[in-house]
Structure 1
Amino acid sequence: MQNCGKLAGYTIFITGASRGIGKSVALKAAQDGANIVVASKTSEPHPSLPGTIHTAAEEIKQAGGNSLACVVDVRTESDVQAAIDETVDTFGGIDILINNASAISLTNTKNTAMKTYDLMHQINARGTYICSKLALPHLIKSRQNGKSPHILNMSPPLSMSTDWFKNHCAYSMAKYGMSMCTLGMAEEFSEYGIAVNSLWPRTAIITVALEMISGWNKQVSSVCRKPDIMADAAYAILKRDASQCSGKFFIDEDVVKEEGITDLDQYAVDPSKPLIDIVNPGPAWDGIVAAFNKS
């Protein structure tokens, strides 16, 4: 039986989709029968982290979608271009780009090595920019073909509050670089009918990669949500008309509520535990971040 969901026939290029939030979004869209490109670095099994582009691609097929696994380091222009070319050769175009690949270090200035600073800026800000730039011609064609093209950046709402910068300035700068892409490209690409938006979680989202970060307290996982809420929110955004929905900084919890989902406990790792708000960081978040600077 052929899938006929809202995203059926759409080709979605997702960076960092071999695990975590990226893979969750991919599996959600796959249920509609979408074509999913898993654009990530992990082609061989990692000694500590489960999942590769190939295992993710197989899960996508099992969920009902078509898949293409591409080895991509978003810091390398030739990698991105090669993957985009292969995507177009395989599926005929690109309709949606999800800039999900990200590097994180919740360290303060004293404890942030410059190679870590460079890594975060190259993957988060530069990676988002280059993927958007190279996908643009195909997104324009998507609109010309009568589809509703989107770029969705997994990045935070822009705020000049010091709470965002005092503890992990380098990381916030890199993520804000992604958000600045949303701000500028939404206006720049409006003439083409391409939507550019950001999506950010209300609370920390637990992933295997996050748990592997030095300084992460495993008990903190119990006050996080699962990636499913980001997948449901992303899916809801991507279903919207691109001409009517651009330049927005969405919060996952708000989006799913707009979709009529009232049971948010389903997304919690432990519904009995209070969740930590990372949209408006407070003492609880400061305590978590402090652990990274002691490790």
Structure 2
Amino acid sequence: MSLQGKTLFITGASRGIGREIALRAARDGANIVIAAKSAEPHAKLPGTIFSVAQEVEAAGGKALALQVDVRDEEAVRKALARANEHFGTIDALVNNAGAIKLTGVQHIELKRFDLMHQINTRAVLLCSQAALPYLKKSGGHILNLSPPLNLATKWFAQYSPYTVTKYGMSMLTLGMSEEFKSYGISVNSLWPQTMIATAAIEFQLGSRESFKHARLPAIMADAAHVILGSTNRSLTGRLLIDEEVLREYGVTEFDHYRFEPDSSDKLMPDLFID
């Protein structure tokens, strides 16, 4: 299930889960397009498109670093065209870029909701539409980092604006899988069973204390690797969970994915996971 020679266009790949997916594919010898806004170092969030490009090359892959704002239609279309020209193909689009604000309707600033909608839902539509001419030729994959459609009211009660934008991504997954069937393109979503220890989560929560209840981004990268390595639409139209994907492919041991492998603390389920 190697991705050697495959070209992956990954949004938000300058850090966190996107970076980890890039490095996992790079170990196979894949071509990685690191498409993100972060061209300059951030004071609190490490990683840029250029630092990840260096890591990809060191891991055995080929890298193309492109500064892209996924809200900008022209920039997205130009970036995909440049990636296709540079590597000769695009085999997978990973819609990883995301925005989060866990606030209810009463207190959410409209500009913050607009940001979440643009980066979460709208960007999946835009990037997928822009990648479609290239994916038609490769019969490739679209992978969205979005959750199962869990309609329990608790997932709407406190932060429905965020929930709506993430569920919009998942509904696009289901729709595109059917719409693109005739092109041989697989479309899936992937979401973590537990909280994932990333700098973005640390920044959101204000500390690393919760990391003892979290897993490393590597579990998402390994699950994404399984999905992107599948062929002939054997996996498509599914809202997948990282642990479930790996169990389907024979993985039974998960302790090494813990942020603190020797910890006995209970893992914290991620949002939208009962």
TM range (shorter): over 0.9
- 1:95-244 equivalences in 2 (<5 Å): 95-143=91-139, 149-213=140-204, 215-244=205-234
Q: Which residue of 1 aligns with 2:267?
A: 275
Q: Measure how far apart 1:78 and its partner are.
A: 1.0
| Alpha-carbon distance between aligned partners in 2 of 1:243 and 1:266, rounded to the nearest angstrom | 30
Report percent identity of matched pairs. 50
| Alpha-carbon distance between aligned partners in 2 of 1:263 and 1:127, rounded to the nearest angstrom | 35
Q: Measure how far apart 1:217 and its partner are.
A: 4.6
Q: CA RMSD in A?
A: 1.4
Q: Deviations over 1:124-146 (max 9, x none)?
A: 00011100000001000113xxx
Alpha carbons 2:215, 2:257 under 8 Å: kept: yes
Q: Which residue of 2 aligns with 1:256?
A: 246
| Alpha-carbon distance between aligned partners in 2 of 1:184 and 1:260, rounded to the nearest angstrom | 29
Q: Deviations over 1:164-220 (max 9, x none)?
A: 21121111111111101101000000010000000000111111011112x445321
Q: TM-score, normalised by structure 1?
A: 0.89
| Alpha-carbon distance between aligned partners in 1 of 2:192 and 2:16, rounded to the nearest angstrom | 13
Counterpart secondary structure, 2:23: helix
- Residue type of the partner of 1:152? L
Q: Measure how far apart 1:107 and its partner are.
A: 1.7
| Alpha-carbon distance between aligned partners in 2 of 1:261 and 1:188, rounded to the nearest angstrom | 32
| Alpha-carbon distance between aligned partners in 2 of 1:103 and 1:280, rounded to the nearest angstrom | 16
Counterpart secondary structure, 1:278: coil
Relative to structure 1, is the Cα distance of residues 122 and 65 closer, same or farther in structure 2, using a 3 angstrom cutoff?
A: same
Structure 1 residue 12 corresponds to structure 2 residue 8 = yes
Alpha carbons 1:53, 1:69 under 8 Å: kept: yes
| Alpha-carbon distance between aligned partners in 1 of 2:111 and 2:271, rounded to the nearest angstrom | 27
| Alpha-carbon distance between aligned partners in 2 of 1:162 and 1:216, rounded to the nearest angstrom | 27
| Alpha-carbon distance between aligned partners in 2 of 1:19 and 1:279, rounded to the nearest angstrom | 20
Q: Measure how far apart 1:159 and its partner are.
A: 2.5
Alpha carbons 1:223, 1:274 under 8 Å: kept: yes
Q: Which residue of 1 aligns with 2:39?
A: 43
Higher mean C-alpha deviation, range 267-276 or range 16-25 = 267-276
Alpha carbons 1:43, 1:71 under 8 Å: kept: yes
Alpha carbons 1:17, 1:100 under 8 Å: kept: yes
Q: Measure how far apart 1:108 and its partner are.
A: 2.0
Alpha carbons 2:104, 2:161 under 8 Å: kept: yes
- Residue type of the partner of 2:208? K
Alpha carbons 1:26, 1:60 under 8 Å: kept: yes
Structure 1 unmatched runs, 5+ = 144-148, 283-295
Q: Measure how far apart 1:277 and its partner are.
A: 1.6
Alpha carbons 1:34, 1:65 under 8 Å: kept: yes
| Alpha-carbon distance between aligned partners in 1 of 2:207 and 2:4, rounded to the nearest angstrom | 40
- Residue type of the partner of 1:227? P
